[in-house]
Structure 1
Amino acid sequence: MSDLLTSLTTELRRGTLTLAVLSQLSTPQYGYSLVQRLENSGVVIEQSTLYPLLRRLEKQKLVTSSWDTTESRPRKYYVLSTYGNEVYKQLKKEWEKTSLELQQLLRGEEENESN
Structure 2
Amino acid sequence: MSQLLNSLTTELRRGTLTLAVLSQLRTPQYGYSLVQLLEGSGIAIDQSTLYPLLRRLEKQELVSSSWDTSESRPRKYYVLSEYGLEIFLQLKKEWIANSKELYSLLKGEEEDELN
TM-score tier by shorter-chain length is over 0.9
Match of 1:3 in 2: 3
Which whole-Å CA distance do the structure 1 matches of 2:48 and 2:3 have between them? 21
Please tell me the residue identity of whatever aligns with 2:33: S
Separation in structure 2 between the aligned mates of residue 109 and residue 50 of structure 1, nearest angstrom = 34
Indicate the SS of the match to 1:6.
Answer: helix
TM-superposed deviation, 1:114: 2.0
In structure 1, the partner of 2:47 is: 47
Distance 1:114 1:35 in 2: 39
Q: Report the equivalent of 1:95.
A: 95
Report SS of the residue matched to 2:79: strand
Percentage of identical aligned residues: 78
Counterpart for residue 70 of structure 1: 70
Residue aligned with 1:108, SS: helix
What's the TM-score once normalised by structure 2's chain length? 0.99
TM-superposed deviation, 1:6: 0.3
* Separation of aligned partners in 2, 1:43 and 1:114: 30
**Structure 1 residue 96, shift from structure 2 partner:** 0.3
In structure 2, runs of 5+ residues without a counterpart are: none
Query: TM-score if structure 1 supplies the norm length?
Result: 0.99
Cα displacement (A) at 1:27: 0.3
Superposed counterparts of 1:94-113, under 5 Å = 94-113=94-113
Which amino acid counterpart does residue 26 of structure 1 have in structure 2? R
